[in-house]
Amino acid sequence: MKFHWFAEVTYDGLPDAFPAPGQGAWVDSPIGLADPRRVGENYRMFVRLMQQADRDGFDGLAVNEHHQTPFAMTPSPNLLAASVAGSTEHAAILVIGDSLALYNPPTRVAEELAYLDCLSDGRVIAGFVFGTPMDSAFAYARPPIELRERFHEARDLVLRAWREPEPFAFNGKYNQLRYVNVWPRPVQERPPIWVPGSGSVETWELVTRENYCYGHLSFSGLRAAKPLVDRYWDYVAANGGDMNPHRMAFTQLICVADSDAEAERRYADAVKYFQRVKDPSMRFATPPGYTSPASMRGMLGRTATPEALEDKRRAVSGEMSFWEYDEKGYIIAGTPDRVAQRVRELATELRVGQLIASLHMGDLPEETAAENTHLFGSQVIPQLRDLWADEPDHWTPVASQRRPAGPTTTPTTTPTTVGAAALVGGN
């Protein structure tokens, strides 16, 4: 099994009253709430944490793309990826992903991912995403009905740009280019491709046909995700797809500490902060034309129960206790042994071979995130390496799979006494 370090790059200085109930924190959040220097401090913290995760034995460092939200200040995942590609040694650079339909022309993605692959010496995973409605339809004004066509045309262009040995002309519906001759080209013949999704059948068809890795990035946990993930695997099996668990990625908030009581003390406030700011207003979440009729029928077939809807309301409002968040699957918390057992259950139930572990959330202090990363890397990951070990992994770069086993640093103190400076700053 593979483990990738990830966090939404959330601004940590929002007032308690933001956002107002039902208003969400996307698209039109007042920019006056942000201090640019504090934003810079946030960015530097996430770079340090990813550098530490590379030393602590993680297989990948994940970055994503969102726009106009304090929940995830990553307008270009390739910029954040570049900050760590040249300053890490082993972990894959997992871009999940570039919103292909928003790039004009998409050859920009081909160039930048190739740059990252060269800089990291062949460690890039190319994630291609359709983009959330908030990002694509509202922040970037793409007509929702065009998004899938634009995405597929852009994907074809990027892959051809990496493959063709000579300059070529591209005459698509949305992109017309007389000369396509991308410099540089990736170190890898073709970086592994991941496509995250939230349950659309068109995405299932694409990843099954092309044998891409499918990422379910929901933050909903095992209990809420199982019906959808089970249907995905049923679809793969019914259509002759590859059932290899390494083709399935899943995000999970993780809170590790020396004791359950310490986990609650350290993480409870940050979990509530994360839940409070992560969702958009409904007016930005469901533009007409974004979801196809076939996918809408599938979603209606998976309609949440009144109990699940109430759980979500209480989670966002902060009415849940810390251990309710854990019980419902929004987080996995506790000692390393407890966390390892819960992750094993999740990975086995959902047939997940790629865990995207979110080890910073909300306004969590850097020192706590650093210790969380260290405990997970040194005490949780080693307990789970046996999972799916008999299955080949074609969706992680060969270069990152050659890394030494376990952390590349040897702590001189116990995890409970390692401070943020030691963990984040290196040896």
Omega of the bond leading into 191 within 30 degrees of 0 (cis): no
User: For the residues of 104-159, what is the DSSP string, one character each?
Assistant: SSTHHHHHHHHHHHHHTTS-EEEEEE---HIIIIIIS---GGGHHHHHHHHHHHHH
In a 3-state reduction of DSSP, which class is residue 421?
helix
Strands (E), 359-416: none
CB 109, CB 180: distance < 8 Å: no
CATH number assigned to the domain comprising residue 412: 3.20.20.30
Of residues 376, 397, 368, the one with CA closest to residue 85: 397
Rounded Cα–Cα distance for residues 346 and 295 (Å): 25
Q: How many CB atoms lie within 10 A of CB 350?
A: 21
In a 3-state reduction of DSSP, which class is residue 376?
helix
The model's pLDDT over 296-323, given as tens digits with 9 standing for 90+, comes to 776 666 656 788 778 888 998 889 999 9
Q: What is the pLDDT of residue 340?
A: 98
Domain count, the chain: 1
Rounded Cα–Cα distance for residues 266 and 71 (Å): 20
Residue 65 has φ and ψ, to the nearest 5°, of -125, 125
First to last CA, the chain: 27
Q: How many CB atoms lie within 10 A of CB 17?
A: 7
Structural domain containing residue 144: 2-425
Tracing tokens 């990027």 back to the chain, one arrives at: 158
Q: What is the pLDDT of residue 299?
A: 67
Which tops the pLDDT comparison, 77 or 299?
77
Of residues 70, 135, 134, the one with CA closest to residue 98: 135
The model's pLDDT over 101-134, given as tens digits with 9 standing for 90+, comes to 999 999 999 999 999 999 999 999 999 999 999 9
Residue 342 has φ and ψ, to the nearest 5°, of -70, -40
Q: How many CB atoms lie within 10 A of CB 320?
A: 20
Rounded Cα–Cα distance for residues 381 and 357 (Å): 11
Q: What is the pLDDT of residue 295?
A: 74
Rounded Cα–Cα distance for residues 113 and 214 (Å): 19
- Torsion of the alpha carbons at 184, 186, 189 and 195, rounded to the nearest 10: -130
Q: How confident is the model at residue 198 (pLDDT cuts 50, 70, 90)?
A: confident
Q: Name residues whose C-beta falls within 8 Å of residue 408's C-beta, 6 or more positions apart in sequence.
A: 54, 55, 57, 89, 90
Of residues 64, 189, 55, 63, the one with CA closest to residue 122: 189
CB 378, CB 406: distance < 8 Å: yes
Q: How confident is the model at residue 408 (pLDDT cuts 50, 70, 90)?
A: low
Taking 80 as the threshold, does the pLDDT of residue 405 lie above it?
no
Average pLDDT, the chain: 92
Taking 70 as the threshold, does the pLDDT of residue 286 lie above it?
yes
Q: How confident is the model at residue 35 (pLDDT cuts 50, 70, 90)?
A: very high
CB 49, CB 360: distance < 8 Å: yes
Q: Which pair of structure tokens corresponds to residue 208?
A: 């099954």
Q: Which pair of structure tokens corresponds to residue 399?
A: 């270069």
Taking 60 as the threshold, does the pLDDT of residue 422 lie above it?
no
Of residues 309, 334, 338, 304, the one with CA closest to residue 322: 334
Rounded Cα–Cα distance for residues 171 and 150 (Å): 13
Mean per-residue pLDDT, 242-254: 97
Q: How confident is the model at residue 406 (pLDDT cuts 50, 70, 90)?
A: low
Residue 392 has φ and ψ, to the nearest 5°, of -70, 145
Bridge partners for 4 per DSSP: 60, 356
Rounded Cα–Cα distance for residues 373 and 423 (Å): 9
Tracing tokens 């944490």 back to the chain, one arrives at: 49
Q: What is the pLDDT of residue 420?
A: 43
Burial of 89 (0-12, 13-18, 19+ CB in 10 A): middle
Q: What is the pLDDT of residue 303?
A: 57
CA 263 to chain CA centroid, Å, is 23
